[in-house]
Amino acid sequence: MEIRKVGVIGAGQMGNGIAHVAALAGHDVFLNDLSRENIESALATINGNMARQARNGKITEDQRRQALDRIHIAENLESLEVCDLVIESASEDEQVKRKIFAALCPLIRPETIVATNTSSISITRLAASTDRPERFMGIHFMNPVPLMELVELIRGIATDDATFTSVRQFTLTLGKTIAVAEDFPAFIVNRILLPMINEAVYTLYEGVGTVEAIDSAMKLGAHHPMGPLELADFIGLDTCLSIMQVLYEGLADSKYRPCPLLVKYVEAGWLGRKTQRGFYDYRGEKPVPTR
């Protein structure tokens, strides 16, 4: 099945990025969230990001206007009935995702493909909570979606070949490079990346180095474009913790135990950039380490 109309559930950082790239690729996009205010905020973000692309010569002004015209506000899940593919991009919480699928599936056509943008949760288990496990799979975009070239595609045990082929073709229309991952906790990128971030937090926790020393060491000593603690703040410390918990519970290996300091920051509500405090404090003119 050719995918032309795409529903996106969740208008946060990942959801608005998915809507952005899908609309630029010529797809009609139906963006849904808990409130119209959230959707309108996402549209403003998309508009600003596309305007930046136009200023930098990456797209034309006509492409920007046409892409924005293709994004429609879907105030309820019933509005997604017209979609060929619906991508869930809500918070990294399995119960939240299951509730969305339970509400969504009775409202969409039997042939509609359902996908999740989860960065770590079992695709097979999520698929089993729907009425269409053979037409369900993982499409894991990287953050920020418009800039990152990679998309991980993950089949559940029941995903059929036709679904995979359709989703693969859709992903290629977005200009992305595909990495096919098996359905194991955190897939490929986060299976490697998050333990590194967790180890950086342990390095801070054990007093081996300060926030600045750890980030400088990895930027200048390993040529990483962003230090691991700065990156954790960008991802969101709650998301980092959630992925580490999935790894720890799913693989039962002590090397994936979340650092107690990461847990403490999340308990404090210091989740990184989105709350203005994490391993850095972002409330001033420049970020200042909090430890």
Report how many domains make up the chain: 2
Task: For residues 240-266, give the mean pLDDT.
Answer: 96
Domain that holds residue 93: 5-181
CATH code, domain carrying 266: 1.10.1040.10
Beta strands across the sheet bearing 150-155: 71-74, 28-32, 5-9, 85-88, 113-116, 136-141, 150-155, 177-181
Residues 48 and 122 occupy one common structural domain: yes
Residues 165 and 82 occupy one common structural domain: yes
Residues 220 and 84 occupy one common structural domain: no
pLDDT per position as a tens digit, 17-41 = 999 999 999 999 999 999 999 999 9
CATH code, domain carrying 102: 3.40.50.720
| pTM for this prediction | 0.91
The answer to whether 88 and 9 have CB atoms below 8 angstroms apart is yes
Residue 156, pLDDT > 90, answer yes
Residues 130 and 252 occupy one common structural domain: no
Residue 67, pLDDT > 90, answer yes
d(CA 99, CA 113): 17
pLDDT per position as a tens digit, 171-227 = 999 999 999 999 999 999 999 999 999 999 999 999 999 999 999 999 999 999 999
Task: For residues 252-277, give the mean pLDDT.
Answer: 97
Q: Exposed, middle or buried, 178 (CB in 10 Å: 0-12/13-18/19+)? A: middle
Percent of the chain with pLDDT over 70: 100
Task: For residues 242-249, give the mean pLDDT.
Answer: 94
- Tokens 């990128």 belong to residue: 189
Residues annotated as catalytic (active site), given as ranges: 119, 140, 152, 190
Contacts 24+ apart (CB under 8 A), 224-230: 227/200, 228/196, 228/197, 228/199, 228/200, 229/197, 229/200, 229/201, 229/204, 229/279, 229/280, 230/279, 230/280, 230/287
Residue 1, pLDDT > 90, answer no
Residues 141 and 274 occupy one common structural domain: no
Task: For residues 101-129, give the mean pLDDT.
Answer: 97
Residue 229, pLDDT > 90, answer yes
First-to-final CA distance of the chain: 52
The amino acid that residue 59 corresponds to is I
State which of 181, 208, 236 marks the end of a domain. 181
State which of 181, 206, 221 marks the end of a domain. 181
State which of 154, 181, 208 marks the end of a domain. 181
Percent of the chain with pLDDT over 90: 99
Residues 86 and 224 occupy one common structural domain: no
